[in-house]
Amino acid sequence: MKLKVCGMKYKDNITQIANLQPDYLGFIFYKKSARHFNSHIPKLPESIKKVGVFVDESLEYIIEQIDKHQLQAVQLHGKESPEYCLELKQFFKERSNKNTRPIQIEIIKVFSIKDEFNFEILKPYEGVCDYFLFDTKGKLPGGNGYTFDWSVLNDYPSTKPFFLSGGIGLDQIEDIKKFKHSEASKYCYALDVNSKFEIEPGLKSIEKLNEFKQSLSSVLIN
């Protein structure tokens, strides 16, 4: 499983967390969020993909932020339709065709889960997204700090790889270990962490994230 650290906000903290070599760093372009990012992303190692998180934004705004920050992925955290995802996908496909250097933008569509989930909702998104992300349904679109019942994913009907999110922290290491050996984890591509590692919104604890990454490596080996 890969690791995504989301809700990055402060330049020095971004650089420090990047030194831990997560696979993805997430930046929230949602003005109502306490983790809203409106600065400049410092230079990151090429191994780390920059993810822009958006909530029901216009395609023009998303494209503008992709170009401005050289994002490699977009995470759609609102009520974006399959048609919306397709339009975004086609835009970059057409742009890529016009350039000698292909432009690869990963599209991650978020779905929130509480006690149960209707997986039929996913079908129209299968061909227009690269990944799904399952988060805990709460008052805010992400960053609520608590987990959902991962066993719900035992009924996951797709082969589409997904990110697992929602209140994941150091306390969940044993749960992750159990999850890894369950049917539900078969297509789990990455873990997405955020609020459980914060000193304040947008400011991550390097020590806690380092401990989590080391513990996670041990879990995935065994």
Say if residue 202's pLDDT is above 70. yes
Say if residue 145's pLDDT is above 90. no
Say if residue 146's pLDDT is above 80. no
Q: pLDDT band at 97, cuts 50/70/90?
A: confident
Mean pLDDT of 104-126: 94
Say if residue 219's pLDDT is above 90. no
Mean pLDDT of 157-165: 97
Q: pLDDT band at 101, cuts 50/70/90?
A: low
- Residue 95: per-residue pLDDT: 82
- Residue 137: per-residue pLDDT: 80
Say if residue 55's pLDDT is above 60. yes
Among the ranges given (12-26, 49-63, 87-101), the one the predictor scored with the smallest mean pLDDT: 87-101
Residue ranges of domains in the chain, CATH in brackets: 2-221 (3.20.20.70)
Mean pLDDT of 205-210: 97
**pTM for this structure?**
0.94
Q: pLDDT band at 220, cuts 50/70/90?
A: confident
Say if residue 100's pLDDT is above 90. no
Say if residue 144's pLDDT is above 60. no
Among the ranges given (87-96, 135-144, 182-191), the one the predictor scored with the smallest mean pLDDT: 135-144
Average pLDDT, the chain: 92
Three state DSSP letters for the chain: CEEEECCCCCHHHHHHHHCCCCCEEEEECCCCCCCECCCCCCCCCCCCEEEEEECCCCHHHHHHHHHHHCCCEEEECCCCCHHHHHHHHHHHHHHHHHCCCCCCCEEEEEEEECCCCCHHHHHHHCCCCCEEEEEECCCCCCCCCCCCCHHHHHHCCCCCCEEECCCCCHHHHHHHHHHHCCHHHCCEEEEEECHHHEEECCEECHHHHHHHHHHHHHHHHC
Cβ neighbours for 34, distance < 8 A, ≥ 6 positions apart: 143, 201, 202
Say if residue 168's pLDDT is above 70. yes
Rounded percentage of the chain residues whose pLDDT exceeds 70: 94
- Residue 115: per-residue pLDDT: 83
Q: pLDDT band at 141, cuts 50/70/90?
A: low
